[in-house]
């Protein structure tokens, strides 16, 4: 099957969704299919795809309803001999969705976070343009259903994760830390949704009584603002801004605890990468976090918006570092058994196959 993977991410954008598109293309190719990635010129996504020797097409997307962009999308679908198109953002879903309909080629959209509202154009896109929708969290599906913009064919497939070789001790060496010191880690695109401002406030409450370091991985539009906040909170000795690191999944195993303070999530890849490396995760109940941290792991899950409870739990965990160590195997096993990348991608393949060959 020829699969066209289209992502109109802005040139500087690189996050879990963009990483997923690279991993998905590799998986499809490894399993006997032909995947081609379409991305903006000079984008991080295009650069990463080319680094991985993936077949790529440079896309010029224009506006959402740009007729010339739709004609360009039609030509890409036609010349690539695509059997099915998988899109990410609304822009390419409109353009390739309409182009796909004109060629009778199914277009499946994938949402890693909530993209639609009550707007009429979102309902039209969902119910008249795309063929199917895949979301990575039940909360996104439920939101769309409540808004009345859910398509008839919507499937929830949580992100999966593959175990990465751990460069044990490397992150601690980079940070100038020994094995006896407490290491906290957070990661993600530095933007308002991730609430890293809240994260800094939490760790600032710890610095008077506890010795630790927070390694924050990622980049984004709020970097300068976050650096200023860290300075005002006196966190210079307690925080390391690590930027984007393609080896994050290989390094995170050095951490004692991963922190997720987002207001909104789908199935956060960085959480699964931390877990499969054996790192316990403390996070708010957003997106699929209640599924990821279910059962005995639920004591690491805090109700969204309850900052006081998060602070209390964080403080209690870091004073019992030895207890945190006993949880490592439980977090690793949950990721391995319930969120494997292989099983997630097989479900994606099933949806794409059903779009091409309806029952």
DSSP letter at 161?
B
In tens, the pLDDT along 28-74 reads 999 999 999 999 999 999 999 999 999 999 999 998 899 999 999 99
Q: List the 301-302 sheet strands across, edge first.
A: 239-243, 212-217, 182-187, 257-260, 281-284, 301-302
How confident is the model over 289-323, as pLDDT tens digits? 999 999 999 999 999 999 999 999 999 999 888 88
| Residue 229 pLDDT > 70 | yes
Radius of gyration of the chain, Cα coordinates, nearest whole angstrom: 21
Contacts of 178 (CB under 8 A, 6+ apart): 172
CATH fold match for the domains 2-160+340-356 and 170-338? yes
Mean pLDDT of the chain: 95
pLDDT tens-digit profile of 234-260? 999 999 999 989 899 999 999 999 999
What fold is seen in the domain 2-160+340-356? Rossmann fold (3.40.50)
Determine contact, residues 3/36, Cβ cutoff 8 Å. Answer: yes
H or E element at residue 194: none
Q: pLDDT tens digit string along 140-181?
A: 999 999 999 999 999 999 999 999 999 999 999 999 999 899
CATH superfamily entry for domain 170-338? Glycogen Phosphorylase B; (3.40.50.2000)
CA distance 59 to 56: 9
Alpha carbon 209 to chain centroid, angstroms:
34
For residue 359, the model assigns a pLDDT of 63
161 vs 331: CA distance, rounded Å = 13
- Centroid of chain to Cα 76: 27
Domain boundaries, the chain: 2-160+340-356, 170-338
Task: State how far the Cα of 319 lies from the Cα of 316, in Å rounded to an integer.
Answer: 6
Query: What's the pLDDT at 358?
Result: 79
């Amino acid at each position: 099957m020829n699969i066209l993977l289209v992502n109109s991410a802005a040139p500087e954008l690189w996050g879990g969704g963009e990483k997923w598109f690279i991993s998905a293309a590799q998986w499809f190719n490894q399993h006997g299919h032909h995947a081609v990635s379409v991305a903006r010129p000079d984008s991080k996504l295009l650069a990463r795809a080319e680094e991985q020797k993936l077949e790529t097409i440079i896309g010029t997307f224009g506006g959402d309803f740009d007729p010339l962009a739709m004609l360009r999308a039609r030509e890409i679908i036609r010349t690539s001999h695509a059997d099915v198109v998988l899109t990410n953002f609304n822009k390419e879903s409109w353009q390739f969705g309409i182009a796909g309909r004109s060629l009778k080629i199914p277009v499946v959209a994938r949402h890693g976070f909530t993209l639609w509202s009550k707007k009429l154009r979102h309902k039209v896109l969902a119910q008249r343009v795309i063929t199917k929708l895949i979301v990575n969290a039940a909360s996104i599906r439920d939101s769309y259903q409540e808004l009345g913009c859910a398509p008839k064919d919507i499937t929830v497939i949580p992100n999966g994760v593959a175990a990465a070789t751990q460069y044990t001790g490397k992150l601690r060496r980079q940070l100038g830390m020994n094995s006896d010191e407490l290491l906290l880690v957070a990661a993600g695109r530095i933007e308002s949704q991730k609430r890293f401002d809240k994260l800094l406030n939490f760790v600032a409450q710890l610095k008077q009584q506890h010795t630790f370091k927070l390694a924050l991985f990622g980049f984004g539009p709020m970097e300068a603002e976050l650096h200023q906040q860290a300075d005002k909170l006196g966190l210079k000795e307690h925080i390391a801004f690590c930027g984007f690191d393609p080896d994050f999944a290989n390094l995170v195993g050095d951490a004692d605890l991963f922190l997720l303070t987002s207001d909104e999530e789908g199935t956060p890849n960085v959480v699964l990468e931390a877990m499969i490396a054996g790192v316990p995760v403390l996070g708010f109940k957003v997106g699929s976090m209640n599924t990821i941290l279910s059962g005995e792991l639920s004591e690491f899950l805090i109700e969204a918006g309850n900052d006081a409870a998060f602070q209390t739990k964080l403080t209690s965990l870091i004073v019992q570092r030895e207890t945190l160590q006993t949880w490592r195997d439980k977090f690793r096993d949950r990721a391995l058994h319930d969120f494997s990348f292989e099983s997630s991608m097989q479900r994606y393949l099933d949806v794409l196959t059903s779009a091409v060959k309806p029952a």
